[in-house]
Amino acid sequence: MRSKFLSVLAVLVLAFAVLGTADAQRRGSFGGGGRSFGGGGGHSFFGSSSSGGSFGSSSSRSFGGGSSSFGGGGSSFSRSSSSSFGRTGAFGNSGRINSTSINGGGSYYRSSSPIYYGGGYNHVYFGGGYGDYWYHPSWYYWLPFHPAFYYNQPYMYDGYYHPGGFSVFRFFLGIFVIVFVVWLLIKIFGGGSGRGVRYTSYR
Amino acid sequence: MVPGMCGRRINFLRPMNYFIFNTGGDWDSTTLYNNGQEFLANQLYIKLETSRDYDGRPMRGGLRNGGDASAYAVSQDDSVGQYAIFPGKIDLEVPTHKVTIENTSPMFAIEFTRVWLDSVEVTEQVTDIEVNVDAVNNQVSGYITVYKPHFLGADEVATYNLLGN
């Protein structure tokens, strides 16, 4: 009985993890993939792509201007100073970093164009979490087997929609539903000794 | 004439047994009739047990699973001895319940047995019936057990006491 219960629970947890990971990859929530947070082209976790622009720039330079890796000017090795690299001071210049969001940092990214939500086209903020999923809800977000289930609906604040936060109520509701589903599956398919037999006596 | 044919024909033409056992809870109110005539008996014995699963536990299906049964009445007339109840039918009327067992197959094949408990057929739920009314030894016992499958919750094996404690 207990082993069957644990087996079914393990399958559900595994399905939960796979579903969440697959969606996260598709949507770029972990830094790669999509263009949700200013980065482009990355396709793996944490933006390891060479063209990734993990910090928001869409160009290929990493630290500062010019095409050279460590400083300005077209020549990398022109010895105009005592420095081996022809420059003085600290590395790089004050190249602007455009990004307003680092994955998971808690910042918000405003949509560049209105999206259809809340009965019309509105500007919204993306938070980078599963709360963003509700801007384009799918039926399975209502199932406790999807992580988005545990986040509230977006809410209107200061003229913009913001993603809802984690819902404790839905968390406990999800636990209840999962336990109920496991119990139901055991009752329906757990034949043999798993079902149990109750012996009663009547006069 | 082939020996035995006459007896077989007579047996075939014999009216089907229809026993009615009735008791109010004591010996004075206990009667046994067969086809409308009182059957003076020393003992009434019925035992039916359907097949079990591999672990020896009752299982759903009742008499569809087959089983074993024996049913007879021991007449007070020593020349009669054990009198087979089946093929035939018997009503067991006790103060709290009424059980009817019927098997009309000439060879008393168990799969043709039908059982009713309080006018509800339980042929596919019954797992055990045992009735022993022994006047000689002053012993009375009887019960019927049915298997009640439940969609939700554990299945139930319910035993209904018919006679005795």
pTM for the full model? 0.52
Look at the block and give the residue holding tokens 């009503």. B91
Greater model confidence, A40 or B59: B59
Of A187, A198, A199, the CB nearest to B152: A187
Phi first, then psi: what are they for A112, rounded to 5°? -70, -25
Of A197, A201, A203, the CB nearest to B154: A197
CB within 8 Å: A202 and B160 = yes
Lowest mean pLDDT among A49-63, A132-146, A189-203: A49-63
pLDDT tens-digit map of B43-78: 999 999 998 888 888 888 899 999 999 999 999 988
pLDDT at B158 over 70: yes
Residue A165 makes CB contacts below 8 A (sequence gap 6+) with: A131, A151, A152
Phi/psi zone of residue A158: left (φ > 0), alpha (ψ -120 to 50 degrees), beta? left
User: From chain A, which residues contact B within 8 Å (Cβ)?
Assistant: 184, 187-188, 193, 195-203
Maximal C-alpha separation, chain A: 109
Residue A173 makes CB contacts below 8 A (sequence gap 6+) with: A144
What is the percentage of chain A residues whose pLDDT exceeds 70? 45
Maximal C-alpha separation, chain B: 63
CA A150 to chain CA centroid, nearest Å: 13
Nearest-angstrom CA–CA distance, B89 and B35: 10
Lowest mean pLDDT among A153-157, B37-41, B96-100: A153-157
What is the percentage of chain B residues whose pLDDT exceeds 90? 64
The three-state secondary structure class of A121 is strand
pLDDT at B8 over 50: no
Residue B56 has a pLDDT of: 84
CB within 8 Å: A203 and B154 = no
Residue A124 has a pLDDT of: 84
Residue A164 has a pLDDT of: 86
> Which of the residues A1, A189, A201 would you substitute to probe the B interface, choosing the one with the greatest number of B C-beta atoms within 10 Å?
A201
CB within 8 Å: A203 and B155 = no
In chain B, whose CA is at the least distance from the CA of A190? B154
pLDDT at B107 over 70: yes
Band (pLDDT 50/70/90 cuts) for residue A115 is: confident
Residue type, A30: F
Residue B165 has a pLDDT of: 65
Mark out the alpha helices in chain B (DSSP H runs). Answer: 5-13
Residue B33 has a pLDDT of: 96
Which of A165, A156, A167, A174 lies closest to A131 in space, CA to CA?
A: A165
CB within 8 Å: A200 and B158 = yes
Residue A17 has a pLDDT of: 52
The DSSP symbol for B62 reads G
Residue B136 makes CB contacts below 8 A (sequence gap 6+) with: B42, B43
Rounded to the nearest integer, the mean pLDDT of chain A is 64
Report the run of H or E that residue A178 belongs to, with start and end.
helix A168-189
Residue A171 has a pLDDT of: 95
pLDDT tens-digit map of A116-158: 887 888 888 888 888 888 888 889 999 998 999 999 988 888 8
User: From chain B, which residues contact A within 8 Å (Cβ)?
Assistant: 55, 57-58, 96, 151-161
Burial class (CB within 10 angstroms; exposed 0-12, middle 13-18, buried 19+) of B140: buried
* Chains A–B, number of C-beta pairs less than 8 Å apart: 39
Query: Is the confidence metric ipTM above 0.95 for this complex?
Result: no
Look at the block and give the residue holding tokens 């509230």. A152
Residue A10 has a pLDDT of: 62
What are the extents of the domains in chain B? 17-163
Residue B151 with chain A: CB contacts under 8 Å: 187-188
Phi first, then psi: what are they for B26, rounded to 5°? -145, 175
∠ CA A189-A190-A194, nearest 5°, is 165
CB within 8 Å: A187 and B157 = no
> Which of the residues A197, A199, A200 would you substitute to probe the B interface, choosing the one with the greatest number of B C-beta atoms within 10 Å?
A197
